[in-house]
Amino acid sequence: MKNFARLLAKEIKEILRTYKLFVVPGLFLLFGLTSPILTKLLPELLGSMVGEIGISLPEMTWVDSYAQFFKNLGQLGLLALILTTMGTIAEERNRGVAQLVLTKPVPRWAYVLAKYAANLLLLTLSAALAFGAAWFYTDILFSDTIFLAGLQATAIFLLNTAVILAVIILASSLSKSTIAAGGLTVLGLILLKVLPFLSDFLGKYSPDALGGYLVRAYSGAPIDSALWGVAAFSLVTIALLLGAAVWVFSGKEL
């Protein structure tokens, strides 16, 4: 565990010294700040356009603000995560950095898991900061905003993104090329989307089901106990993906 702690500290220091410190938290925070404002202004921006054809827009609510926020995180935020993380192992192998690190008595499993843990920590802090901003402005701009609904949705979003991050780490461990790692990541995400169609069990409990619970959470709708089963399956999926990444990386020549 000492080796893991040292590698984790190394990864955190590298994040603090690189552009990633600003890209992921900065983009997430931007969504947190702008999503409520854009949601509030949307009827006014589109009002004159749709008014000419006799269509009236419904009044926006805090649910719409949360929906816009999590939509932005799930699209552009996810893209930023992939672009900044897909080379985390592949690029270090390509530049010979991994070889320098692993010449010391450092187990490869610690190297891989430290990469995952450091990026997950950055992701968690970024999402927490972004949600804080989103809730603050949503509460100001819209009445009856429910804090707990957004907090639950943020937790679900983080669990879903933790699965995606495990896919990225596995893809990065498979290749020395950052571009190839990105392609493998996309392939892995497609496979996750296919899982629900393979059986009723996977349709109910695969990580892809988290998307539906995310919508229910930020809408303030009740969430049934099946979410715990989905969460457990997602954690098992993360463990399997990281186990595969360690196994693959252990057999690679540096």
Distances (CA, A) of 69 to 33, 179, 218, 254: 9, 29, 10, 41
Length of the chain as a residue count: 254
Nearest to 7 by CA among 83, 98, 134, 140: 98
The pLDDT of residue 122 is 94
- CA gap 239, 152 in Å, rounded: 23
Dihedral through CA 29, CA 214, CA 232, CA 155, nearest 10?
A: 30
The pLDDT of residue 100 is 72
What is the reported pTM?
A: 0.91
Give the domain ranges of the chain: 2-250
pLDDT tens for the chain, residues 1 to 254: 777 888 888 888 888 888 778 888 999 999 999 999 999 888 776 666 655 555 666 788 999 999 999 999 999 988 988 988 888 888 877 777 777 777 777 788 888 999 999 999 999 999 999 999 999 999 999 989 999 999 999 999 999 999 999 999 999 998 888 888 889 999 999 998 998 888 888 888 899 999 999 999 999 998 888 999 999 999 999 999 999 999 988 876 66
18 Cβ partners below 8 Å, 6+ apart?
A: none
The pLDDT of residue 48 is 60
Three-class secondary structure assignment of the chain: CHHHHHHHHHHHHHHHHCCHHHHHHHHHHHHHHHHHHHHHHHHHHHHHHHHCCCCCCCCCCHHHHHHHHHHHHHHHHHHHHHHHHCCCCHHHHHHCHHHHHHCCCCCHHHHHHHHHHHHHHHHHHHHHHHHHHHHHHHHHHCCCCCHHHHHHHHHHHHHHHHHHHHHHHHHHHCCCCHHHHHHHHHHHHHHHHHHHHCCHHHHHHCHHHHHHHHHHHHHCCCCCCHHHHHHHHHHHHHHHHHHHHHHHHHCCCC
Spatial contact of 120 and 55, defined as CB atoms under 8 Å apart? no
